[in-house]
Amino acid sequence: MAKRVERVRRGTDGRARVERVSPIRWTAAKQREFLAMLADTANVSRSARSVGMSDQSAYALRRRDAGFRQAWLEALSEGFDKLEMMLLERAMTGTPKEHLTASGGVAVTTEFSERLALNLLAQHRAAVQRARQEEGRTVIAKANLSAVLTVDAEQVRADLIAKLELMGLRLSGRDSRPGEVADGGSVPPDAA
């Protein structure tokens, strides 16, 4: 059972008060060590034990502290990435197994887990498909952007000047094409 710790504090009324203090607290140093272990192992219980805390207190801290919760997610993600890389290497290179030979010696063989390889392959296939879809959206967006950006600035300027000149002529009444009146309205075909 944990030792009961008390401390004396001065109350708001100036009188001394005795309050119970939990002997075990999540200090900033314990949080950093916990998160480092979590990033290495992706194991909450082991990480909590490594700093002398319970996994229940770690979960409680995660619920209370948004900053710790975010750091937890990042550390756990890093831990799972490491675990995935370790399993991927194991699937590709195999696992050494020692066997006793008939003569009493030890022989080492390499065993490959098809189940592990197939599971990793399925996960990576889904991740690659998501990445390709995302990349496809990015390529389309870049193509659309480059189409907008490759417009010839001189041509745009010339088109704008020509349109402004035409608008000026129309407003002044000097541009009356067949089928149009000087104010820009249309004339019925039989009236022209």
Whole-prediction pTM value?
0.47
Report percent pLDDT > 70 for the chain: 74
**93 within some domain:** yes
Look at 52 and 152; give whichever has higher pLDDT: 52
Lowest-pLDDT choice from 3-17, 64-78, 157-171? 3-17
**43 within some domain:** yes
- For residue 6, give the 3-state DSSP assignment: strand
CA distance 99 to 94: 15
Look at 83 and 26; give whichever has higher pLDDT: 26
**59 within some domain:** yes
CA distance 166 to 174: 10
pLDDT reported for residue 65: 94
pLDDT for 64 beyond 60: yes
pLDDT reported for residue 184: 47
**24 within some domain:** yes
**12 within some domain:** no
Structural domain tally of the chain?
A: 1
**182 within some domain:** no
| Domain span at 51 | 20-112
Mean residue pLDDT across the chain: 79
**34 within some domain:** yes
pLDDT for 56 beyond 90: yes
| Residue keyed to tokens 């890093």 | 78
Give the list of residues 6+ apart from residue 45 with CB closer than 8 angstroms, or none. 55
Lowest-pLDDT choice from 1-10, 48-57, 88-97, 116-125? 1-10
DSSP calls for 113-129: -HHHHHHHHHHHHHHHH
Q: How sure is the predictor about 182, in pLDDT bands with cuts at 50, 70 and 90?
A: very low
CA proximity to 47, closest of 57, 87, 85: 57
pLDDT reported for residue 49: 95
**139 within some domain:** no
Q: How sure is the predictor about 163, in pLDDT bands with cuts at 50, 70 and 90?
A: confident
